[in-house]
Amino acid sequence: MQSSEAVLTQARAALAHVPYQGHHLHPTIQLRLSDGALILEGEVADIVDKTRAAAILRRVDGVTSVIDHLRVADGSTPVGDGELRDAVCERLLNAIDFRNFKICAKVKGHLESMREAVGERSGWIEVAASNGVVTLSGQVISLSHMRLAGVLAWWSRGCRCVVNELVVAPDEADRDDEITEALMLVLETDPFIDAGRITVRTDNHVVTLEGYAATDYARKQIERDAWYVQGVENVINHIVLRS
């Protein structure tokens, strides 16, 4: 068994080979090892950098899991905790796939109900925000719902990191087709794109996008949506422009 320092040395070397979107930010990423779990802290320029860094570190020998607390740099005007929390709650309240869910905001340690659950198979989601980090807890009915909730949080202005602690009940086995299904649900939820023109394939956590987009903005937005989906480790964008 390797020593903790040997594992950390390999992890730091792996970070040097991440193809960062902006510039090499690996010196700003702090690594800690706890019982085989590698904890990532610090700041990266983009969601793509965050996802790629975590993905490459999962493959380091001696790392049993990765706890990704990296934050995406926020170049806009800072958003307060209350504003961010309310924005996430609003997106959940307006999403048709969560229409029967109980939605709660966690304010200063206390839960405030935004809407009560409807029906027997409904779930519940609690939303907390602190310094740009959104934490989702509660129970949902599928892996797709868990992943969609995370993306809705990422879409909210001021969000720099999502800690998705939602529990799926009944439990589901996670597979590539579950990622594909969740991403299609995300694309159907995104009002800025036409999901009907897109096909998605996932192989070993790598998503391949094909189809057509009317604008370059839409093409990039579709890819960005894929990077936000929990479990995705890389995205190959073969979407072409066609009006």
Query: Tens-digit pLDDT profile for the chain (243 aa)?
Result: 688 999 999 999 998 888 877 554 444 889 999 988 999 999 998 899 999 999 999 999 999 999 999 999 876 778 999 999 999 999 999 999 999 999 999 998 899 999 999 877 789 999 999 999 999 999 999 999 999 999 999 999 999 999 999 999 999 999 999 999 999 999 999 999 999 999 999 999 999 999 999 999 999 999 999 999 999 999 999 999 998
- Residue 221 exposed, middle or buried by CB count within 10 Å (0-12, 13-18, 19+): middle
Q: Crossing angle for the helix pair 143-155 and 81-94, nearest 10 degrees? A: 130
Same domain, 90 and 159: yes
Contact yes or no for 87/157 (Cβ under 8 A)? yes
The number of distinct structural domains making up the chain is 3
Same domain, 64 and 88: no
Which of 149, 168, 187 is a domain's end point?
Answer: 168
Same domain, 93 and 65: no
CATH code for the domain of 190: 3.30.300.130
Provide the mean pLDDT of the chain.
Answer: 93
**pTM for this predicted structure:** 0.93
Write out the residue range of the structural domain in which residue 188 sits: 176-241
| Beta strands in the chain, from DSSP E residues, in sequence order | 29-34, 37-44, 65-68, 71-72, 102-107, 110-115, 124-130, 133-140, 161-168, 198-203, 206-213, 234-237, 240-241
Q: How far is CA 25 from CA 9, 10, 15, in A?
A: 17, 17, 9
Tens digit of pLDDT for each residue in 42-53? 999 889 999 999
Same domain, 62 and 100: no
Which of 168, 194, 212 is a domain's end point?
Answer: 168
Which of 168, 199, 226 is a domain's end point?
Answer: 168
The pLDDT of residue 218 is: 95
Tens digit of pLDDT for each residue in 57-82? 999 999 999 999 999 987 677 899 99
Residues 198, 200, 203: CA angle, nearest 5 degrees: 165
User: Residue 62 is encoded by which pair of tokens?
Assistant: 């001696």
Same domain, 48 and 120: no
Residues 147, 181: Cα–Cα separation, whole Å: 10
The pLDDT of residue 86 is: 97
